A and B are shown apart, each in its own frame.
Chain A
Amino acid sequence: MSRTQTVMQVMEPPPQGARVGAAASLGDAVAQGVPLVAHVHDATLREPRVLEVDRFSLYYGGKARALWDIDLAIPKGKVTALIGPSGCGKSTLLRSVNRLNDLIDGVRITGDMRLNGDSIYAKDVDVIELRKRMGMVFQKSNPFPMSIFENVVYALRIDGVRDRRILEETCERSLRGAALWDEVKDRLHQSALGLSGGQQQRLCIARAIAAEPEVLLMDEPCSALDPIATGRIEDLIADLKGAYTVLMVTHNMQQASRSSDYVAFMYLGRLVEFGPTNDVFITPHRKETEDYISGRFG
């Protein structure tokens, strides 16, 4: 871990340049390489925050810049969807929250993020402890090659929890939380790989919420599932709301409008617009947002 940390120095933010206002076109801003101030709807500013992204930029290797000065505050107990065309940096941003990008050689960042006030990218942060405060669900379900029970309590196991009672309680609570308990309660000790695709994804959600995360990260959790399984996951996300803060990447506009309370539109590595889902979908302030959600590009 120490090696990657030296690569990922927290750099000074770039000097304040000219910022374009709401009226200027995004394409022009990108062409000129000037920073862009996202349009943030007022309603989001009033919410208590779990996660704050503070002028966060990310570079792959020397030059390729994937994220440009992102400022974002994720409201507590709500579902926030990151939307935008492929390659706009939404998955990169999501994976930056629990520092999974550390695993990629040559990644460099500037700016910072804060989880309930604690810096994520400060030098003395213990990445492992940090990741224990978050849960993550991946695009393709990735149950571990072990039993259903062991999958769910994995985070506890690596923490050294051995108390059978605690493990069993956590397992049941998490599986109930992921709406999977009734389907698997009789075969907890069979391989997780025997479950269907949708069940596997709900198992991954159960695993992610087992350690009571402060924020639950979901990277296109339904893109590999059929419509019925997708529906169940969406119902589940609705159930999780309130108890958990969810930050979700999705390509599916209907899903974003159905499931999320807030939506952040990203384009070309920049945050363009951020606000309550209804406001953004009904009265987008930026032309690019409107084009994207109405299906004119992306």
Chain B
Amino acid sequence: MQWLTAGALAICLAMIAGLLALVIVQGAPTFWPAALVQVRLEGGETWLGEVVKEERFAPSEAIFAAAPPDARTRAEKEAAASEGTVRRRLFRTGNFELTNEHFRWIDDFRVVEESRPERAVVLERTEWGRFYGTPKAFLVDGKPIAEGPAAWAEFEARRDAVRDRAEERRRLEKEAAGALNRRLRAGTLEVKRLELKHGPKSSEAAAARIRVEEEARLLEAEGATVRARIEALDRENARYVLSMTTSDGREHPIPASEVVRGYEANRLGVVDRLAVYASRWAEYLVDEPREANSEGGVWPAIFGTVVMTLLMSLAVVPFGVLAALYLREYARQGALVSAVRIAVNNLAGVPSIVFGVFGLGFFCYAVGGSVDRLFFPEALPSPTFGTGGVLWASITLALLTLPVVIVASEEALAAVPRSMREGSYACGASKWQTIRRIVLPRAAPGIMTGMILAMARGAGEVAPLMLVGAVKAAPDLPVDGEFPYLHLERSFMHLGFHIYDLGFQSQNSEAAKPMVYVTTFLLILIIVALNLAAIAVRARLRRRFAGGHF
């Protein structure tokens, strides 16, 4: 029996460790800057890129037949030596706008010459993915001011200034222009609200119209200043262009402002590589996504996941505890209560997508629609609360995790010793006083256990979120510096949904694959962190309320 139980535990642990190991092994090297390999094929074709994986396959007769004679001899020799298989490597070749592909399989037998060009660089760009090539010249206003290796030095010297300008431009566009738009929209809504309230021809509406028009003129002027500044920045940045030569000799100009990160991959020492690795991790954690989420960071998704999970806990714990209190402390134990208990437990077995559909139909459309009609009629027909948002997502997940909290809370309440309740009653406490002062504090650690389980379940859930508010790319975070600071109606990004989106919806799926592992790892880390925080709180409660000297 001992072996059976130990074996079961060992298998569980092995599976968990295996999953974690897979995620870490696949995810950890994602950001490591690999060397750049250039290969020349028998036909003179050359490719430059990073090798991302290699495999052996058994080529069909047609492949042998299609190969030129030299390559065919090499292939047949290699196949004969290793059970009919030959090696091929997947190169990340980038340069999408020139080649229309990000990755390319290259059979080893077709390679005539392989080298690691010292001066080859990797450019990560805001658009079109990576670019691999050799710097040819650095142009200012279309005139080359440096060539060859000096061009790269010149680019590196000017990169910070260019990046600062690009950053300022991005901020201006997003924040200043965004704020102006919002104020403009608020004015329009105000007019519409007054029209709805007093009639379109009323004096209040007319006055508001005039006021808003005046404000719109002011905002227009402000907007013009912002636009002028943006254009000035753009003009300045457009002066600097890095001209690159690809491996097959084509020349391609890259505007300096589009480069997010660039390095000479084959000249990096270990320290430089570590620096690139760290800077990619930092970008991943604090930046916004680019290129349909397959590049850049996941900060909005981290933020959305944490906010949604906290809101969910805020919703589920009070409800669950109240329900458990009624079931355990007030209801007369009998068939009805048992039936309710069974129903609650079965609720945990309902597929989560069903909760999603319910959340969409009830919370988003029914409740949210009513809220819109009552409080935000001026914005209709565009919905405010009448669509997916972080509030509805949190409540839907709260519903999903309610059984966990109810069951855990009930058990915690039942575990409060009878002697303590009797002691309290004997002091003349009412039932509610006993519950509030004795039972609940004593049961708090157990209730926290329920919350921890609910958080772990809720934070990892994806299916219902797709229906009630998680989106591929959210324009704004659900919490920001703008009144009322917490925007419950906003849609949000979620790491779980992000993983699904990367893995199954991505155009550039080879590039997205390692990001799936990294994001999974990050999601696990966040859930662990949230749980550790809750466990720390629980440990404090335990020290305070239970324990003692026995």
- Interface residues, chain A, CB within 8 Å of chain B? 1, 3, 98, 100, 103, 128-129, 131-132, 134-136, 138, 140, 142, 144-146, 154-155, 157-159, 191, 193-196, 204, 207-208, 211, 217
Contact = CB atoms under 8 A, between A and B. Distances in A.
B544 interface: yes
In the complex, which of the residues B425, B438, B545, B546 has the most CB atoms of chain A within 10 Å of its own CB atom? B425
B417 A103 contact: no
29 contacts: A1-B431, A100-B426, A103-B421, A128-B428, A128-B429, A135-B426, A135-B427, A136-B422, A138-B422, A140-B419, A142-B419, A142-B422, A144-B423, A145-B420, A145-B438, A146-B437, A154-B437, A155-B427, A155-B428, A155-B429, A158-B428, A158-B433, A191-B547, A191-B548, A193-B548, A194-B549, A207-B423, A208-B427, A217-B426
A292 B545 CA distance: 43
A177 B549 CA distance: 24
Contacts of B531: none
Nearest to A204: B423
A27 B421 CA distance: 38
Given A128-B430, A211-B428, A138 B423 contact: yes
A135 B422 CA distance: 12
A145 B545 contact: yes
B416 to A, nearest CB: 9
A23 B236 CA distance: 120
Contacts of A3: 332
- Chain B interface helix/strand/loop/mixed: helix
B297 to A, nearest CB: 45
B420 A144 contact: yes
B442 interface: yes
A103 B546 contact: no
B431 A154 contact: no
Interface in B325-351: 332
A129 B430 CA distance: 10
Given A1-B431, A144-B438, A146-B441, A193 B426 contact: no
A129 B438 contact: no
B181 interface: no
Nearest to B418: A103
Given A98-B426, A145-B546, 20 more contacts: A1-B430, A103-B421, A128-B429, A131-B428, A135-B426, A136-B426, A138-B422, A138-B426, A142-B422, A144-B437, A145-B544, A154-B429, A155-B427, A158-B429, A158-B430, A191-B548, A195-B549, A208-B426, A211-B427, A211-B428
B545 A100 contact: no
A202 B548 CA distance: 16
A155 B428 CA distance: 7
Contacts of A204: 423
A103 B428 contact: no
**Most B CB within 10 A of own CB, among A135, A145, A155, A208:** A145
A193 B547 CA distance: 7
A115 B446 CA distance: 41
B509 interface: no
B426 A131 contact: yes
A154 B438 CA distance: 10
Interface centre among B421, B422, B545 (most CB of A within 10 A): B422
B85 interface: no
B419 A100 contact: no
Contacts of B426: 98, 100, 131, 134-136, 138, 208, 217
Nearest to B431: A1
A162 B258 CA distance: 67
B48 to A, nearest CB: 69
B508 interface: no
Nearest to B434: A158
B interface, how many residues as a size bin?
20 to 34
A208 B424 CA distance: 10
Contacts of B437: 144, 146, 154, 157-158
A159 B425 CA distance: 13
Contacts of A158: 427-430, 433, 437
A142 B430 CA distance: 18
A103 B430 CA distance: 12
A145 B546 CA distance: 6
Given A193-B547, A193-B549, A100 B427 contact: no
B423 A142 contact: yes
Interface in B515-550: 544-549
A105 to B, nearest CB: 8
Contact of A131 (B427, B545, B549): B427
Nearest to B421: A103
Interface string B61-98: 00000000000000000000000000000000000000
Contacts of A207: 423, 427
A142 B546 CA distance: 12
The 6 A-B pairs with the shortest beta carbon distances in the complex, nearest first, are: A132-B428, A193-B548, A136-B426, A145-B545, A142-B419, A131-B428
Nearest to A192: B548
Given A98-B426, A103-B425, A131-B428, A138 B419 contact: yes
Nearest to B544: A191
Given A128-B430, A138-B419, A145-B442, A100 B548 contact: no
Contacts of A100: 422, 425-426
Contacts of A146: 437, 441, 545
A125 to B, nearest CB: 13
Interface string B393-437: 000000000000000000000000101111111111111010001
Nearest to B543: A191
Contacts of B548: 191, 193-194
Nearest to A100: B422
B337 to A, nearest CB: 13
A159 B430 CA distance: 10
A144 B424 contact: yes
A194 B438 CA distance: 17
Nearest to B333: A105
B333 to A, nearest CB: 8
A195 B549 CA distance: 7
Nearest to A193: B548
A172 B546 CA distance: 25
Contacts of B428: 128-129, 131-132, 155, 158-159, 211
Interface centre among B419, B420, B423, B441 (most CB of A within 10 A): B423
B423 A196 contact: no
